[in-house]
Each structure stands twice: as C-alpha cells, then as structure tokens.
Amino acid sequence: MTTAPDPDLDRLAVATIRGLAMDAPRAASSGHPGTAMALAPLAHVLFTRILRHDPGDPTWPDRDRFVLSNGHASILLYSMLHLSGTGVSLDDLRAFRQWGSITPGHPERGHTPGIEVTTGPLGQGFANAVGMAIAERFTRARFGPDLCSHHTFVVAGDGCFEEGISHEAASLAGHLGLDRLVCVYDDNHISIDGPTELAYSDDVPARFAAYGWSVVQLGEAADDLDAIEAGLRRALSGQGRPTLVVLRSHIGFPSPHMTDTAKAHGDPFSPDEIRLTKEILGIPPDTSFWVPDEVVAYYARMAEGSRQAHAAWAGRLAAWEEGGGDRAAWDAAQAGRGLPGWEAKLPSFDAGSEAIATRQAIKLCLDATAPLIPGLVPGSADLTGNTGMALDGATAQSAGEPGGNLVHYGIREHGMGAVMTGMAAHGGVLPVGGTFFVFSDYMRGAVRVAALSGVHVVYSWTHDSVGLGEDGPTHQPVEHLAALRAMPGLRLLRPADANETAQAWRIAVDADGPVALVLSRQKLPVLAGTAELAAEGVPRGAYVLAGAGETPDVVLVGTGSEVALCLAARDLLATGGIAARVVSFPSWDLFAGQAGAYRDAVLPPGVPRLAVEAGTSFGWERYADDSISIHRFGASAPGAEVMAHLGFTADHVASRARALVRG
C-alpha cells in the first residue's frame, strides 16, 4: 500500500526541515545551513516518495542507498533521519557538532544510524556511490533480483565535481553502464570563496553526457516537489546508463538577505535572519528545533510502503533458502568473508623451492581461495597482472557482464580507492584493488576515509621498494611505509616471502577494516621456518624466525625482502662468534597490540637491535637502536644494483651489526 502525498503536509515538512537547517548550526555556532535549506524539498521527496528504506532497520540489505556527497550539509541528512524515525532524536539535533554526539560536522559511517558512508572530503561520496552501484549489480547477478534489486542515490555539488576524483569515478560509472545509479547535481553556483564562476566554467551536464551518462535537466525546480519526483522517476528507468539529475537550487532560500550568497554556505545565520526566514516559512519564529507531530506522523505513514517491501524481501530470502539457496554463501558475501574453513585452501611453500615475488604469491592465494570467498572482487588500476589481481577464470565486470568478478578500474587510482570503499560499505563483496605502492599517494585520500569508516577493503600495493629497479625514483617508494603506518585504522603488512603472504591474505580476509598488503616486484626466496612459523607469527605482527633458542648478542629486525638479508647476515656474524637473532616484522600495528611479555620475548630488552628496511627510518627508533634505511630517493638501475649501492647487502648488514655489538 502506498500513501498519497498531502500538499499541505509537504509544505509544512519542507518548512520544518529548513528551520532545523538554520537552528542546529546556530546552536553550535558552526555549520553549513545554506545547502541544507536549498535541498530541503529534494530530501523530502526522496525520503517520502522515492527511497525504499526501513527506519526500523537501516541496514536492511536490499534498501536503496543514499549518499550525501556534499557532506558539509550534514544537518539535512540528520534532519531526515530524525523525521523518518531512524534513530536520531531531537536532542541529537540540538547536540549538532558537539563532543560525543551522533550528529558530527560531517556524516560518519558507523557513528550515526542510517549513514551509509563517511563524507566530507568532496567527491569521495560520489565515488563511493559508484562503488555501491557496482556492488549492487554484482550481488544481483550473483544471487538474483529477488534478493538484490535496488538503486543508489547520491547528491553532489560543484565542490564534488571540481575535485579530480569525480572525473575518475564518473568516467568509470559511464563506461560500466551503472543504470541503478542516480546522482542529483545541486547546481547552486556558490562556493566558499563566492560565485563558482570565479574558478569554474565547466558545462557539467555536457561533461557527464560525454562520460556516457543520461542527463535529466530539471531547471528552476528546486521547490517544485512534483517536478523533482518526476525527474527522479525518469532517472529510475536507467536505460542502460547512470543518470545525472540537474537541479538549479538557491543556497539559503528563502532567507531574505542570505539567499544566493557565499556566507550562506558556511556561516550560521544570525538570530534576526533566522526569525525573518521562519516568518516567511510560516513556522514559529521564536521556537528553535520546532518539529510538529503531524510531520513526524506523515513521515511514518509515507514509509509504510518501504516497510512492506522489506517484509516481502525477508519472505523471498526465506523462500530462496528453503528452495535450496546457498545461505552460507549469501552471508559470507554480505560480510565480505570466506566460507567456514576457507583458510584450509591457502597454499604453502617449501623452503628452498623456486623464488617467488610476493606479488605473484598473492595471486596464487587468490586463485586457491576464490571459490570459498563468494564476494571476492579483485581489480587493479591498469596493472592487473603486475599486482597479482589477474584472478584465474574471472570475468571482467561490464554492462554486458553484470556478474563479472574482476574490475578493470583503468588508470584511476584515487577513484579506485573510493569506489572500493563504496563497494565494501554496500556489502555483498570483498573488494581487493592493486597498484604500485608508490601510487598509494594517489589513493591516500580514499584510504584515509576507508580507515576512518572501518570498511573492509584490501589494497594490493606492489613494487614495494627501490628494488623495483630501472623505473627509477618516480616509481620507487621510500617514505610510503612510514606514512601509511601513521594512519589510524589501517592494517599494513609487508610479508617476507610467499608463506608470510599467504598468512597476510588470511588476515586480510578475516579483518574488520581496511588492510594493505605491501608486496615485492622482485623474486624472493622461500625462507626456512616460515612454513612452520608464519601462521602463528604473522598475526602477532613480528616473530623470531631464526635464533629462537639462543641468547642473542644482537637482534636483526627485517621486513619484506630485507628479512632474507638479515638471515644471510646472521650466517656471516656466526663465523665471527656473534649470535644474531632474526625477527621478521611484517606488521607494526599487529605487534603493538600484543602483550608486553610477548614483545619482550621477541625483542629482548637490553639486547642491541638493528632494523633493516628499504625505506625511511622514520619510526624505527621505537623498536631499534640503529637502522639500515634510505634517506634519499632511489635511482634508475637494475634493482639488485640499486639495493647494493644503498647499503642493502648481507655484508653491510653484518658490518653494522658488529659495530652495534661493539657499542
């Protein structure tokens, strides 16, 4: 049953939203009222006439997704969550932008019920929405439209579309033909500095048409609820392409002095201006946070159709399972996990067997375990084979292959990162994306948002050091390990060989948040002891690989390809009577989470420690007394030669260790 709109209640609801959009920033002395005021009619139409959402269960898998990419207008979304009964109270609105509230300055996933993704850095939410549309299509193809058939809606403004990430994501969406993706372009011509014409003269609709999007021009219809609804319903038809709905709005409307001004963007209105505007709106001018009961009741009635749709979906899920549907696969895909026992398929490698680059080892791990990870969707930024993402038997995701389980992101690293965040936030997939480690710089904004929001994505960053060789310093990471280790919420592992890579993949699949695998271009030996010790040692972040039963004179601490150097140096030191322990240290954050007794057992207090890592020494002072590191950019030459010139040889490691022992 669908409830028909009530024009009088529609007008009252829009006025109520605009009142809240002024009141919350005023109470906080901080915030962005203007965009929320301008888009109040759009939000009202979406939440009462278009979106399929259940306020009682905002995580229902087959709900429509809504993303506010211009997240500075967060009070608009919080107001809608309050009116629709999605766990945001009037007191929460009063606590806008305050410590401990669930209404922070920008929407944060996992912090507020009903928030799909963390937005604020402009353009990120738009790219997240592209990822959600990919995940929806993959899940629909994988499990059928009875279990997954919904749309993704995103609102974005000029700030989002000026950011380069929007170009990457929009281009990919058009190429893939994501016809369940609807973007509303808030065309308000205002930025913080003033009119957008100061720096921006793009023909945005033409640009999106060139990307392969359908474009619906609504013109001056920001307050015409029926025109907005009609435009959105046109967009729902898709016609094989994503749709851009262009809405010319007026920031701060209907304020008598702030409409169409830059101040309306980021400055709370004065009490006098709020009073005048509320008089125009016909709501109590001297009452803050006024929400009439009849508006709340109206929203509850208008959501009845969505609640019924949710109930019908639950019935279809039960019937599908009773009819032989693979519920375990559905649950694993929704969680981005493997089926029970999946890790038994992880490959193991014998010491002394053929050397293998860890970027090649990750491919072997993916190939071996993919049949037991139903939502696995790897991909790469044009480096699919180079980064180990060329999954055997995979089909490329495309308009013609909606169930394709391999994404060719093209040369769009930042877009790839944010699209993966959206895929993970949607559910139904475990996205794994690869590029060269040095280009994690291009992804960093998206990686930070993934870490902030705790989504389950995996990055396969390969060509991890100056050992890359001839491509030279533009392609050789130096400072990247230190920079990414500093990021809260990102689990980073740099495995030493193929066995450690297998265990790193196990950690990545079972993780709750984002995981970065930092992998070598060059072939590395399979080290003695990793087949036996890595399964327990890698999850603890560091472990004794050689010399566990000895009283060491020195501890050699290595990561990645440098662990083999430490082992070779240990043999050299033994000839001079120096007992060296070798510690493989794939993950700082995992090691930091271990009990003090374990950390002391691995790195005995009072024993000198030498860290060996082909990157900057920044941070190693917490674990080592000295380090063989890099304090310059790399060079173009064969990888082994570059490493040797920069001090990464067994002889040099042994020499520095002897000096450390001598004190």
What per-residue confidence (pLDDT) applies to 239? 85
Tokens of 194: 């003033």
Contacts with 583 (C-beta within 8 Å, 6 or more apart), sequence order: 542, 543, 544, 545, 555, 556, 557, 558, 602, 603
Is there a common fold for 342-518 and 541-662?
A: yes
Going from N- to C-terminal start, the domains of the chain cover 7-308, 342-518, 541-662
Rounded CA gap, 494 and 588, in Å?
10
pLDDT at 471 over 60: yes
Q: What would the mean pLDDT of 239-266 be, rounded to a whole number?
A: 96
pLDDT tens figures, 108-119:
999 999 999 999
Mean pLDDT for the chain overall: 97
Burial 548-557 (b: 16+ CB within 10 A, else e): eeeebbbbbb
| Residue showing tokens 């009961």 | 293
pLDDT tens figures, 138-175:
999 999 999 999 999 999 999 999 999 999 999 999 99
Q: What percent of the chain has pLDDT over 90?
A: 98
Question: Which H or E run contains 68?
Answer: strand 65-68
What per-residue confidence (pLDDT) applies to 3? 79
Q: What would the mean pLDDT of 551-568 be, rounded to a whole number?
A: 98
Catalytic option among 413, 500, 562, 613: 413
413 flagged as catalytic: yes
What per-residue confidence (pLDDT) applies to 2? 60
pLDDT tens figures, 217-252:
999 999 999 999 999 999 998 789 999 999 999 999
pLDDT tens figures, 604-640:
999 999 999 999 999 999 999 999 999 999 999 999 9
Q: Which amino acid, residue 419?
A: V
Beta bridge partners of 216: 245
For the chain, how many helices (H) and strands (E)?
26, 18
Best CA proximity match to 526, nearest among 492, 579, 563? 563
Cβ count within 10 A of residue 99:
6
pLDDT at 1 over 60: no
| Residue showing tokens 């690293």 | 413
Rounded CA gap, 531 and 512, in Å?
26
pLDDT tens figures, 524-536:
999 999 999 999 9
Rounded CA gap, 28 and 32, in Å?
11
Tokens of 660: 């450390």
| Residue 83: half-sphere exposure toward Cβ, Cα within 13 Å | 36
What per-residue confidence (pLDDT) applies to 13? 98
Domain 342-518 belongs to what topology? Rossmann fold (3.40.50)
* The pTM of the whole model exceeds 0.85: yes
Domain 541-662 belongs to what topology? Rossmann fold (3.40.50)
For the domain with range 7-308, which CATH number is right: 1.10.8.60, 3.40.50.1820, 3.30.1300.10, 3.40.50.970? 3.40.50.970
pLDDT tens figures, 500-509:
999 999 999 9
What per-residue confidence (pLDDT) applies to 238? 79
Best CA proximity match to 66, nearest among 86, 43, 49? 43
On the 0-12 / 13-18 / 19+ scale of CB atoms within 10 A, 91 is: exposed
Q: What would the mean pLDDT of 560-589 be, rounded to a whole number?
A: 98
pLDDT tens figures, 369-381:
999 999 999 999 9
Strand ranges (E), 90-235: 152-157, 181-187, 190-191, 194-195, 214-219
Q: Between the CA atoms of 478, 483, 484 and 487, what dihedral angle is there, to the nearest 10 degrees?
A: 180
3-state secondary structure 414-476: HHHHHHHHHHHHHCCCEEEEEEEHHHHHHHHHHHHHHHHHCCCCEEEEECCCHHHCCCCCCCC
